[in-house]
Amino acid sequence: MVGNFRGTVFLEDGRITFAESPGIPDPAARLVGSGRLSEDQWPVPRENPARDTGALLLERGLLGEEELRAVLHSVVLDVLIALLADRSPAADVRFAPLERHWAGRLLALNPGAALAEAERRSALPAVRRVSPRARPKACELLRPWAVLRREHWPLLQRADGVRTVRDLAWHSGLALHDTIESVDALAHAGLCVLLPPVPHPDVPEPAARPPGQTAPPPRPALPAPPSSAAPAADPPLPHRVRGASAPPGADALLAAAPRVHDDEQPVFTAHPDVLRRVLEGLKRLGR
């Protein structure tokens, strides 16, 4: 996948409870874009701050627990695949060991198993052939018939040569990795061609949302990666908030990371290879 990775991985008790990235379709985009929920049905916790989004969805009977868990799992997989595919030195990974995401009530993935699954999907030929920034364009049929799978049809309808593969995922409510594989299948069948990405070397591609969908309140901006122009002085060691809990191995992370004072919670910025090592370490600690 092309472009600098920016994302947040939530860890609790050595497990991955959620992961998100601006370029990856989030649960709202997945459920609203696919038509599973209407925009009005997606809950906004502001009406009841004490309840989380997942609890509201389940309480209202809009989704079953297993269906919601499967969507959350798929979003995490999308983020990990993007992480493994982006080897850019400017990739930005934010660790949030003391923050909790509402998905943690439903999801607790083994880091080793999650990484293995992401590595398997990221090694597929389709991921290497199709960039998320490529622009699929539907072709005229060379024969009077074509065989499509159900998930291919909405993608082919929107393949106008302007929308990127990432746009198609957001608008169709599909996982990005599934969209990549479907677009590769359509191209292989001669039903679309892949136009090259529009060059934006210094501007990250904005995340697209289904038409009319209201975006959730934006998360605070992630810190910029440190400059490598000159060696920086050793940062002061952070202090854990009294009474706060952290997953196994968090002490080592806290000791190695600079303190961020905006919300009094530690935030870690690292290259994707660092995240891989951390997750593999968590896997060993869990044995």
Give the N- to C-terminal CA distance of the chain in Å, as an integer. Answer: 32
Residues 37 and 147 in one domain: no
Residue with tokens 């024969």: 143
Q: How confident is the model at residue 203 (pLDDT cuts 50, 70, 90)?
A: very low
Buried b / exposed e along 84-112 (16+ C-beta atoms within 10 A): bbbeeeebbbbbbbbbebbbbebbebbbe
| Predicted pLDDT at 252 | 40
Amino acid at 163: R
Residues 48 and 186 in one domain: no
| Predicted pLDDT at 145 | 80
Q: 230: which residues sit within 8 A by CB, 6+ positions away?
A: none
Q: How confident is the model at residue 191 (pLDDT cuts 50, 70, 90)?
A: very high
Single out the residue in 195, 224, 248 at which a domain terminates: 195
List, for residues 3-62, the tens digit of each pLDDT value. Answer: 466 788 888 888 999 999 888 999 999 999 999 999 889 886 555 555 688 888 998 999
| Per-residue pLDDT at 149 exceeds 70 | yes
| Predicted pLDDT at 71 | 95
List, for residues 102-123, the tens digit of each pLDDT value. Answer: 899 999 999 999 999 999 998 8
| Predicted pLDDT at 67 | 95
Classify residue 205: in a domain, yes or no.
no
Residues 15 and 117 in one domain: yes
User: Per residue, what are the HEC states of the chain?
Assistant: CCCCCEEEEEEECCEEEEEECCCCCCHHHHHHHCCCCCHHHCCCHHHCCCCCHHHHHHHCCCCCHHHHHHHHHHHHHHHHHHHHHCCCCCCEEEEECCCCCHHHHCCCECHHHHHHHHHHHHCCHHHHHCCCCCEEEECCCCCCCCCCCCCHHHHHHHCECCCCHHHHHHHHCCCHHHHHHHHHHHHHCCCEEEECCCCCCCCCCCCCCCCCCCCCCCCCCCCCCCCCCCCCCCCCCCCCCCCCCCCCCHHHHHHHCCCCCCCCCCCEEECHHHHHHHHHHHHHHCC
Average pLDDT over residues 200-211: 48
Residues 39 and 108 in one domain: yes
- Number of domains forming the structure of the chain: 2
Most confident of 182-191, 208-217, 277-286: 182-191
Residues 133 and 35 in one domain: no
Residues 76 and 105 in one domain: yes
Domain that holds residue 40: 6-123+216-285
pTM, 2 dp:
0.66
Residues paired with residue 269 on neighbouring β-strands, in sequence order: 94
Kindly report the average pLDDT of the chain as a whole number: 74
Residues 134 and 109 in one domain: no
Q: How confident is the model at residue 148 (pLDDT cuts 50, 70, 90)?
A: confident
| Per-residue pLDDT at 263 exceeds 80 | no
Average pLDDT over residues 72-90: 82
Q: How confident is the model at residue 198 (pLDDT cuts 50, 70, 90)?
A: confident
Residues 26 and 73 in one domain: yes
